[in-house]
Structure 1
Amino acid sequence: MQETRRGIVQFGLLGALLSGQPVRAEAVAPVAAPQPDFAARADALVRPYARAGIFSGAVIVARDGAVLFRQAYGAAQREWSVPNTPETRFRIASLTKQFTAAAILTLQEAGQLRLDDPAAQHMPGLPATWAPITLRMLLDHTAGLPNVTALPDYPTLLARTARTPMAVVGRLFREALLFPAGSAQEYSNTGYILLAAIVEGITGAPFATALNRLVLAPAGLAETGDADLEAVIPQRAAGYHRVAGQWRNAPPVVSAAVLGAGGLVSTLDDLVAWDAALFSGRILRPAALAEMVRDSGHGYGLGLYVGRAYGQRLLSHGGFLDGFSAIKDSYPDLGLTVVVLGNTETTPAQTLSRRLGALALGQPEVTEIAVPAAVLDRYVGVYRTGPRAVVSLAREGDRLVARGAGPARLGLTPESDRVFVAEDGTRLALDIEPDGRATGLLLDLPGGARAGPRIDAQTAHRIGNRRLARLGPR
């Protein structure tokens, strides 16, 4: 398939739209012809991650209406060996936020709210300490609200049982703000869940219905919608995580628990079509679109990160939810969109997206992934990767090193917060529990992947006289 199912306009129109000037042919930035072998080179970039078992999902690269690369990998449902396809629907986690932001801006254009309205004006009953919080602060993460998804009982209780967004937000009514509203920024899902409740209150409709009327239908997104766990959604991928070296079904997260913040499913084609609709001015007028993509001073607009990559303006958002990892990178001045949707938690979505972006732009790769030392320390230990083979991980300075057979110690470069590549190209992924503990490891080796649990030092000593799995030059 060489074209998406919907017409896509050139995103180079965005600059003219935001300036309020008439659109002329010369306003569209020239676009270099795509490389004839781009799809083969992109597949060669992505396939090693799929072969290693680290990536299962779908990828698209599109430029000015032409699909340069569109491919799926791995299983949508492991129990029945159903493969992912380019049409598979994935949970897109925090990519949802840009749709919620667009809905709020649409309501502002309709005169039903203003971004600088206090949230309490539209949602009576909020705590008095939340009185200074405005809708804009909820959108750009400057409200000071604690992140409800970080509560200890969120994964075991709220994520599985929540029925309304306010049932989730209400868990924080007795919590202190992280900082005075508007004085700093800290990313928080709570604000977007509250925004979903406000949309419901203003429209008198469930959030999914209101979002479809305000944003999704006007954009022509027929495959994007609420990730209702009880609904039968055709071609929906299941999400998977790893525990002690084994794939398992990811714990369920009901859509109400992340409504507005991460409650949508979508497809590759719909997300490319969304960029076309948004950046062409079909969804928002120029003034509203300008607000959405303006850096508020923290590298964030309204539902989108705002920055630069490879010398180009980049509007981006990633997403992570139990069993799923996603990203959409948009280079609006070049009409380039890169989307990575994965149904495994090990998916290094940002690395894949930035590497594909570099390939499309003909630039050297720069991924700039940094993992905090405290996180690396959780990974230090010994992992069984075979009946008589182990791999040991240690921290040296700000990086992990892996030891395999012989004296070789290989430095590891992060490709996400849980996927690393060794100097010889070997990749490994850590199995992570909700509390951050590493319980297993997935290792990419010639002939296939190996996986196994984390073990204690005494067990490691007993395994084959400390025989280690082969890493390094072969």
Structure 2
Amino acid sequence: MKKRSIILLLLLLIIWNPLWSQITSEKIDQLMQSYSDIKKFNGNVLVTKNGNILFSKSYGMADFEWKMPNSAQTKFRIGSNSKFFTSVAVFQLVEKGKINLDKTISDYLPWFDKELGSKITVRQMLAHTSGLKNYTERADFYDVLAHLEITPEQFAKQYLQDKELLFQPGTKYNYCNTDYYLLGLIVGAVAQKPYEQYIKENIFDKVGMKNSGIDTPSEILDQRARGYEYDFNGYKNARPINMYTSTYSAGALYSTSADMELWMQAMDRNALISEASKKLIYTPGMTTHGLGVFIGKMNNGLVVVRPGAINGFSALTSNFIDDKIHIILLDNSSANRRGNHFEDIAGTIYQIVNNKTYELPKIPVSYKMGEVYKLSGILPAIDFYKKIKADSQYNITQSASELNSFGYSLLKSGKNKDALKIFELATKEFPTLANAFDSYAEALAEDGQKQEAIRNYERVLELSPGDNNATKQLKILKGN
């Protein structure tokens, strides 16, 4: 009798495993199709558990002009996921005794400004505690720096040596692309070969990542996805950018979902660096940021997360270490109005895999408002918003940020009067939200309504005393 029970149990397990996998796959597909339907995902998804593929599927278009769908072979820009690779490259050289985490920029880049470079260590740059200014926040980044065709070293010499630090190195955290750009140059200087060559030989080739590399303007790249933005006017081509020069080791890599899975597996089994080095990378510092990745907890288990975003692209890798679950999201349509919802997607997929309760995404309010606006104009769009506020199928909880994004979309399109109506609506719907009045004031000032702009900036200061932008704009508007 005992033997029969064991055999029956084994048979049930054999039947249940494929059935569970099929049900799980169907649920993930339903989730991702829901996000695709509301234009909040256009790309590839790969989910694995214990190294086995649970789900792999592509959604939307790699190229809308040529109507080429995304596929498993599509290559996506992975943005700041590149920083994880740069961090591992640094630690490989640390283990070889060629880099010391507590030595400075000046120890490795002799051309770098000595006064500045002698204050900042490799460890501080890995942790984003260098105090350096983030060059991608410069006002001229997207119009000038993003299009330069010079070497990374020339770029660094011209744009990454601002002597005015934000704070004393090591005392605060500030996410900074400058840190990881310089780290890539240090890797190249120490290894005596270009960063991209080092990464290929010591990471990509070692783990079999044959469809990954650094994005350069001149390369003809097979199966490359085009980058798109999505806003209230639909899809449009993303702003052009020279990835190699302007983002380099901070964000210029591309890959496929399958290659990113190989990368995550290699990290799990310590194929590239030691357990001790990995532990340092996975240990949070002043915030949830470790050394190139973000660290979290899920059901008391360790989660290593690396988001990335660059013109027209979004990416997220989530490694649920204790559960042995990998979730990879690669997208070529970064939507201006999305917000950071990839973490929500990954969290929901995790719930599905663990047979927990979950919810499908609700329709963004602004998504439908945009449709009504295009068909009927601004007043019907506002009426629509007011009518559906109580409708459970719409996502009202984020309507403050969505109304704000909708207003700015109209403002950038030259539809100032319509934008003003949306911003005014936001102030009425959220009368205690300083940002709503700040956006309304900005639009009023741009429309020449000086006194109304002053009144709304003063309201910002009532809600948020000492607000720097409101204070600055009031001085300008009042002629002080």
TM-score range, shorter chain: 0.7 to 0.9
1:363 partner letter: K
1:103 aligned residue (89, 106, 109): 89
Q: What's 2:460 paired with?
A: none
SS at structure 2 position matched to 1:386: helix
| Larger strand share, 1 or 2 | 1
* 1:339 partner SS: strand
Task: Determine the structure 2 residue equivalent to 1:4.
Answer: none
> Who is 1:192 aligned against?
180
Q: Deviations over 1:374-416 (max 9, x none)?
A: xxxx99x9986333144789xxxxxxxx751664435999xxx
Check if 1:351 corresponds to 2:344: yes
Name the counterpart of 2:111.
Answer: 125
**In structure 2, C-alpha distance between the alignment counterparts of 1:232 and 1:69, rounded to whole Å:** 30
Partner of 2:356: 363
Q: How far apart are residue 199 of structure 1 and its match? A: 1.3
Contact map agreement 1:243 1:431 (CA 8 A) in 2: no
Between Structure 1 and Structure 2, how many residues are aligned?
392
Q: Which of 239, 264, 276 does residue 287 from structure 1 map onto?
A: 276
Give runs of aligned pairs for residues 40-439 of structure 1, distance below 5 A: 40-127=26-113, 128-169=115-156, 170-242=158-230, 245-254=233-242, 255-346=244-335, 348-365=341-358, 385-390=373-378, 404=384, 407-410=387-390, 421-422=395-396, 437-439=408-410
Q: Name the amino acid aligned to 2:389.
A: R
Higher relative contact order (CA 8 A, sep 6+): 1
Aligned to 1:469: none
Instruction: Determine if contact 2:116/2:161 at 8 Å carries over to the other structure.
Output: no
Question: How many angstroms apart in 2 are the aligned matches of 1:333 and 1:244?
Answer: 41
Q: Which amino acid aligns with 1:438?
A: S
Cα distance, 1:48 vs. partner? 1.7
CA displacement 1:28-83 (0-9 Å, x = unmatched)? xxxx9654311111010010221223321011110112111100000000110000
* Residues 102-139 of structure 1, C-alpha deviations (whole Å, 9 max, x = no match): 00000111111111111110011323133221111111
Q: Partner amino acid for 1:153?
A: D
CA distance in 1, matches of 2:30, 2:389: 27
- Counterpart CA distance in 2 for 1:430 and 1:232 is 40
User: Once the 2 structures are TM-superposed, how far is the Cα of residue 365 of structure 1 from its aligned partner?
Assistant: 4.8
- Match of 2:471? none
CA deviations on 1:263-298 (whole Å, 9 max, x unpaired) are 100111111111111110111112111111122232
State whether residues 131 and 166 of structure 2, in contact with CA within 8 Å, keep that contact through their aligned partners in structure 1: yes
In the superposition, relative to structure 1, how do residues 324 and 431 fare at CA in structure 2: closer, same or farther (>3 Å)?
farther
Q: Contact between 1:239 and 1:249, CA under 8 Å: does it hold in 2?
A: yes
Q: Where in structure 1 are there 5+ consecutive unaligned residues?
A: 1-31, 368-377, 394-401, 414-419, 442-451, 462-474
- The letter of the residue matching 1:89 is K
Which deviates the most, 33-42 or 131-140? Answer: 33-42
Deviation at 1:251, TM superposition (A): 1.4
2:132/2:162 contact within 8 Å kept: no
Conserved? CA contact 1:244–1:431, under 8 Å: no
Which amino acid in 2 is paired with 1:273? L
Three-state SS of the structure 1 residue aligned to 2:146 is helix
SS at 1:404 equivalent: helix
Corresponding residue number in structure 1 for 2:469: none
Deviation, 1:168, is 3.4
Q: Considering only aligned residues, what root-mean-square deviation do their CA atoms show, in Å?
A: 3.5
The AA in structure 2 aligned to 1:233 is L
Deviation at 1:437, TM superposition (A): 3.7
Q: Are the equivalent residues in 1 in contact too, given 2:184–2:249 (CA < 8 A)?
A: yes
Structure 1 residues 455 and 134, CA, compared in 2 at 3 Å: closer, same or farther? same
More displaced, 381-390 or 240-249? 381-390
1:407-443 CA distances to partner (integer Å, 9 max, x unpaired)?
A: 4435999xxxxxx8347x99x978969xx943489xx
Distance 1:344 1:162 in 2: 25
CA distance in 1, matches of 2:326, 2:405: 30
Give the structure-2-normalised TM-score.
0.74
* Greater fraction helix: 2
| CA–CA distance in structure 2, aligned partners of residues 282 and 383 of structure 1 | 50
For the 8 Å contact 2:47–2:325, the answer to whether it is kept is yes
CA–CA distance in structure 1, aligned partners of residues 372 and 300 of structure 2? 43
Indicate the larger mover: 345-354 or 70-79: 345-354
Q: Which has the larger radius of gyration?
A: 2
Over the matched positions of the two proteins, sequence identity in percent amounts to 24
Q: 1:287 to 1:119 in 2, by over 3 A?
A: same
User: Offset at 1:230?
Assistant: 1.8
* Kept after mapping to 2: 8 A contact 1:431/1:440: no
TM-score normalised by length of structure 1 = 0.75
Question: Contact 1:143–1:182 (CA<8 Å) still a contact in 2?
Answer: yes
Tell me, what secondary structure is at the counterpart of 2:273? coil
Partner in structure 1 of residue 417 of structure 2:
456
Deviations 1:247-271 (A, max 9, x none): 2211122222111111100111111
- The 3 A distance-change label for structure 1 pair 227 and 403 is farther
